[in-house]
């Protein structure tokens, strides 16, 4: 019997997210932080306490964790929804609102994979030649396809740049709706939710969209702890108006974030100074990597606001394979952007190993 015949057609043609474990000495492929954001002593005390109550389900509302984040961001905890990584929140958004789902390409692949898994139509709009949003095409697409959801990863993965804020704002305004009075038609002809995925926001030093939440009710911001040293915990957050949060909360699995993750995240977030130190080091290493890569003949790095750098190399697949032979794992992006590879910023030592290997190769 061919089991595949039982599988829904949209799943049959789907390709699983590429997340292979490839053995290596220097791991610079997954945009993780090279530093674990938790000190051993603090996490041990917190874990010990929580291990004794593992017979109980976790707090379904993650109240303590959300309160801490709300205080930090100066918002209400009712404006936050917690997810098992932001991947899960993308799933929940598309489950709740459905499609069409619009996003620029190339971008984070999960927007497309989850849309397809849920049988929703995908509208992909190519970025312009500076990897910025082609806002005219997007606005036309909005008019034509009336997407329910628009995902904008800014900084964008894998290109590394922030999209122009004024372009993002134009898209938010074009699809926003003002508070409706009874009997009144919505203000804008197309209502879409614009999800600004700020997974890499800590490396930009900017937080422009958070203050706009009160003004634009169709704005949703997504953040994660994965890029700041806690990828193993699997914790992401949606930040939006309460009415959006309440709708998405209906599809959230009741105990989606386990108790150990909740407890350890609280410990890590309390120690803000430590988090800041790691982020500062990654930003300064990003600058060094960029400068050094620029000097290598045949390598063109693209400016980045994130914790990784996209670069072009003649014979990119060979460069990728040769680096791996030397124990340095980066990400092959040639299937997405011609001749491009992506390297995550590591510790100063790891970055030096990468640079040395790259120079030797070229
Ligand atoms: N958004 C973007 C733009 C990403 O690059 C990633 C991780 N690669 C995610 C979301 C998912 O992050 P999380 O680990 O929180 O699921």
pLDDT tens for each residue of 137-170: 999 999 999 999 999 999 999 999 999 999 999 9
Q: Please check the confidence at residue 178 and state whether its pLDDT lies above 80.
A: no
CA quadruple 47, 52, 55, 56: dihedral positive or negative?
negative
The DSSP string of 73-112 is HTS-GGGEEEESSHHHHHHHHHHHH---EEEEESS-THHH
CA of 88 to the centre of ligand 1 (A): 10
Selection from 49, 52, 46 nearest residue 268 by Cα: 46
Q: What pLDDT does residue 186 have?
A: 53
Q: Please check the confidence at residue 272 and state whether its pLDDT lies above 70.
A: yes
CA angle 146, 152, 154 (to 5 degrees): 165
pLDDT band (50, 70, 90) for residue 182:
low
Q: What is the residue with the minimal CA distance to atom 6 of ligand 1? A: 199
CA of 28 to the centre of ligand 1 (A): 15
pLDDT band (50, 70, 90) for residue 289:
very high
Q: Please check the confidence at residue 46 and state whether its pLDDT lies above 80.
A: no
Tally helices (H) and strands (E) across the chain.
Answer: 12, 13
Q: What pLDDT does residue 21 have?
A: 86
Question: Ligand 1: which atom is nearest the Cα of residue 153?
Answer: 3
Q: Which residues fall within 8 angstroms of residue 132, CB to CB, at 6 or more apart?
A: 161, 163, 164, 167
pLDDT in tens, 226-260: 999 999 999 999 999 999 999 999 999 999 999 99
pLDDT in tens, 300-351: 999 999 999 999 999 999 999 999 999 999 999 999 999 999 999 999 999 9
CA quadruple 115, 121, 123, 124: dihedral positive or negative?
positive
Q: Which of 30, 93, 196, 224 to mutate to test the pocket of ligand 1 (most atoms within 8 A of CB)?
A: 224
How many whole angstroms separate alpha carbon 77 and alpha carbon 68?
8
Question: Ligand 1: which atom is nearest the Cα of residue 108?
Answer: 3
Q: Please check the confidence at residue 19 and state whether its pLDDT lies above 90.
A: no
pLDDT band (50, 70, 90) for residue 185:
low
* Mean pLDDT, residues 27-46: 84
Question: Ligand 1: which atom is nearest the Cα of residue 107?
Answer: 3
Q: Any idea what DSSP says for residue 54? A: T
| Structure token pair of residue 107 | 């971008």
Output Rg (C-alpha) for the chain, integer angstroms.
21
Selection from 85, 110, 56, 63 nearest residue 256 by Cα: 85
How many whole angstroms separate alpha carbon 149 and alpha carbon 89?
13
pLDDT in tens, 188-229: 567 999 999 999 999 998 999 999 999 999 999 999 999 999
Q: Which of 17, 37, 103, 157 to mutate to test the pocket of ligand 1 (most atoms within 8 A of CB)?
A: 157
Selection from 158, 129, 128 nearest residue 307 by Cα: 158
Q: What pLDDT does residue 286 have?
A: 98
Task: Give pTM, 2 decimals.
Answer: 0.94
Average pLDDT, the chain: 93
Question: Ligand 1: which atom is nearest the Cα of residue 226?
Answer: 14
* Mean pLDDT, residues 267-288: 94
Which domains does the chain show, CATH number per domain? 3-30+273-361 (3.90.1150.10), 41-270 (3.40.640.10)
* Mean pLDDT, residues 24-31: 95
Q: What pLDDT does residue 50 have?
A: 84
pLDDT in tens, 80-109: 999 999 999 999 999 999 999 999 999 999
| Site residues for ligand 1, CB cut-off 6 Å | 31, 85-87, 108, 153, 157, 197, 199, 224, 226, 231, 236
Q: What pLDDT does residue 343 have?
A: 98
pLDDT band (50, 70, 90) for residue 62:
very high
């Amino acid at each position: 019997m061919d089991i595949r015949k039982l599988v829904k057609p949209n799943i049959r043609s789907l390709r699983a997210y590429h997340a292979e474990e490839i053995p290596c000495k220097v791991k610079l492929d997954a945009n993780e932080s090279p530093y674990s954001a938790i000190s051993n002593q603090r996490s041990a005390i917190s874990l010990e306490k929580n291990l004794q109550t593992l017979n109980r389900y976790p707090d379904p509302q993650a109240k303590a964790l959300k309160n801490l984040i709300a205080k930090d961001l100066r918002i209400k905890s009712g404006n936050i929804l917690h997810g098992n990584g932001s991947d899960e929140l993308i799933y929940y958004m598309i489950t709740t609102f459905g499609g069409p789902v619009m996003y620029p390409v190339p971008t984070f692949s999960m927007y497309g994979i989850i849309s397809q898994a849920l049988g929703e139509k995908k509208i992909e709009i190519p970025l312009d030649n500076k990897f910025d949003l082609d806002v005219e095409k997007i606005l036309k697409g909005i008019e034509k396809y009336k997407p329910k959801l628009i995902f904008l990863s800014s900084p964008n993965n894998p290109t590394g740049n922030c999209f122009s804020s004024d372009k993002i704002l134009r898209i938010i305004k074009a699809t926003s709706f003002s508070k409706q009075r009874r009997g009144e038609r919505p203000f804008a002809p197309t209502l879409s939710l614009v999800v600004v995925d700020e997974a890499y926001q800590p490396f930009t030093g900017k937080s422009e969209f958070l203050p706009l939440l009160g003004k634009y009710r169709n704005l949703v911001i997504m953040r994660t702890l994965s890029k700041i040293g806690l990828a193993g915990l699997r914790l992401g957050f949606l930040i939006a108006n309460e009415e959006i949060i309440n709708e998405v909360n209906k599809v959230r699995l009741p105990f989606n974030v386990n108790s150990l993750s909740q407890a350890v995240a609280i410990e890590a977030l309390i120690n803000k100074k430590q988090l800041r130190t790691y982020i500062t080091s990654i930003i300064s290493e990003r600058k060094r990597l960029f400068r050094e890569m620029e000097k290598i003949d045949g390598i063109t790095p693209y400016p980045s606001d994130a914790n990784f750098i996209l670069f072009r190399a003649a014979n990119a697949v060979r460069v990728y394979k040769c680096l791996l032979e030397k124990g340095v794992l980066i990400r092959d992006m040639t299937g997405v952007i011609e001749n491009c590879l992506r390297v995550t910023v590591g510790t100063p030592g790891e970055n030096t190993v990468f640079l040395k290997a790259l120079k030797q190769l070229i």
